Structure 1
Amino acid sequence: MTTLSPYKAEFLKAAIDGGVLKFGNFELKSKRISPYFFNAGDFYRADLLRAISTAYAKAIIEARDQTGLEFDVIFGPAYKGIPLATSTTDKLAALDPDAYSQICYSFDRKEAKDHGEGGNIVGAPLKGKRVLIVDDVITAGTAKRDAIAKIQKEGGTVVGIVVALDRMEKLPAPDGDDSKPMPSAIGEIRKEYNIPIFAILTLDDIIAGMGSFATPDDIRRIEEYRAKYKATD
């Protein structure tokens, strides 16, 4: 059985204890009925915010150590990405001040401001900067493509994306036949933009860590869901 690294196990426990990761029957945008649901918007309590920012920071440090990931600005797409970007920037500087005390954060407005300083971006300027996007999940990929386009329009270069959860789930088939092999949204964006995408947790991680808190029925249902909808990449 796979053993989760300590930071992943701590994050999974916080998500369960805080009601961020729930088990049951949940209808997704794709109309699939999922046996679990993860909502990073529920990390609004101080201890939970600390848990998720710590997990993002440790995932980023791990990615740096394993792949050489380097960046100047952390970008959080509005709205859920805004607290994630700001809190992760602070946590990185606390965990590794030598490497990260000078990094910056930015986020976008849903609508451009037409007075004062104006523009679409709040925080650090992106021109000429290496930008790391942080967000909760990638579902269809539309929001991430919009964020990448905004960053590129401002003159920044996207060097990676970090998400809280990779559902490892294939995109719906155009003809509605879910038995067909299909890629995931993460796989499509990774291939389309040639950028790395990192996740704090994957569905495999959730299943690996479920034994200590989930019922056998929950575990069985999630394993069946994974088998039915797992992506080709």
Structure 2
Amino acid sequence: MTYDRDALLDLIRAEALQTGDFTLASGKKASYYLDCRKITLHPKGANLIAEGMLSVIESAGKLPDAVGGMAIGADPITASIVTIAGQRDLPIKGFMVRKEPKGHGMGKQVEGPVEPGQRVVIVEDVITSGGSAIKAVEAAQAFGLHVDCVIGIIDRLAGGAEAFAAKGLELKVLTTIRDFGIEP
């Protein structure tokens, strides 16, 4: 399967985009809601997202050692990318960032086959303020990983890109809310 942006837009429109009155994780009110789990856990959606994000990654020139992000939202994205990368014989591994360090065992916050010094890309579903992905970036950096960029499925255009820029990171996205005729 190759990346088909129009198919991803159609799937988001049909499965994930809802209109009404919603309260976001940030506490802000919104007239629409994006439930991207309906896409990241969908067989076609998982493939489209992985192909799209791999396309963004490959266009950067040098492959990262791994992709990952904040559990639970980034987990299916990471798994899809790692699966497609493996089918293409690309050496990209996956990792996940716990919301807080594990309270037992080795007490890790970053889990997976990554080592300090490796280059990684943080993945995220919906970018609003960037808060969740920034926490993943900070945990990855504290672990010793070098974060190349953040890639999201959809940007609500609500300050996330600016928040990443303030941290010296570029936000790359597959879509924005404007692709659905909604102004931020």
TM-score using structure 1 length: 0.68
What percent identity do the matched residue pairs reach?
24
- The change in CA–CA distance for 1:87 and 1:201 in structure 2 (over 3 A counts) is same
Greater share of helix residues, 1 or 2?
Answer: 1
Measure, in 2, the Cα distance between the counterparts of 1:108 and 1:40. 19
* Aligned pairs, number: 182
CA contact (8 A) 2:39 2:45 kept: yes
Q: Which has the larger radius of gyration?
A: 1
Which amino acid is the alignment partner of residue 13 of structure 2?
A: I
Is the Cα contact below 8 Å between 1:75 and 1:105 reproduced in 2?
A: yes
Deviation at 1:22, TM superposition (A): 1.8
Q: Is 1:142 aligned to 2:116, yes or no? A: no
2:109 pairs with 1:120: yes
- The code of the aligned residue for 2:9 comes to L
The offset of 1:150, in angstroms, is 0.6
Residue 27 of structure 1: CA displacement?
4.1
Contact in 2 for aligned 1:165/1:202 (Cα 8 Å): yes
- Correspondent of 2:19 among 19, 23, 30: 23
The secondary structure found in structure 1 opposite 2:166 is helix
Distance in 1, Cα, partners of 2:126 & 2:115 = 23
- Bigger shift: residues 66-75 or 19-28: 19-28
SS of aligned partner of 1:54:
helix
| Deviation per residue, 1:75-114 (Å, 9 max, x gap) | 12112111221122112332x32xx1x2111102233234
The counterpart of 1:40, out of the listed 26, 36, 43, is 36
The 5 A counterparts of 1:73-92 are: 73-92=66-85
Q: CA deviation at 1:71?
A: 0.6
Q: Which residue of 2 aligns with 1:71?
A: 64
Instruction: Give the alignment partner of residue 152 of structure 2, picking from 163, 170, 180.
Output: 163
Residue 65 of structure 1: how far off its partner (Å): 4.7
Residue of structure 2 in register with 1:187 after alignment? 162
Cα distance between partner residues in 1 of 2:49 and 2:67: 11
Q: Which residue of 2 aligns with 1:130?
A: 119
> Is residue 58 of structure 1 aligned with residue 47 of structure 2?
no
Aligned-residue Cα RMSD (Å) equals 2.4
How much has 1:168 moved relative to structure 2?
Answer: 1.9
Q: Deviations over 1:21-76 (max 9, x none)?
A: 12344344454432x3211123375xx1x333323322233324543253111112
Query: How far off is 1:142 after superposition?
Result: 2.0
User: In structure 1, how many angstroms separate the alpha carbons of the residues matched to 2:59 and 2:10?
Assistant: 25
Encode CA deviations 1:136-165: one digit per residue, 9 max, x unaligned: 112222222211111111110000111110
CA distance in 2, matches of 1:33, 1:202: 15
Offset of residue 133 of structure 1: 0.7
Cα contact 1:107–1:123 (8 A) shared by 2: yes
1:198 correspondence with 2:172: yes
Contact kept in structure 1, 2:70 and 2:99, CA below 8 Å: no
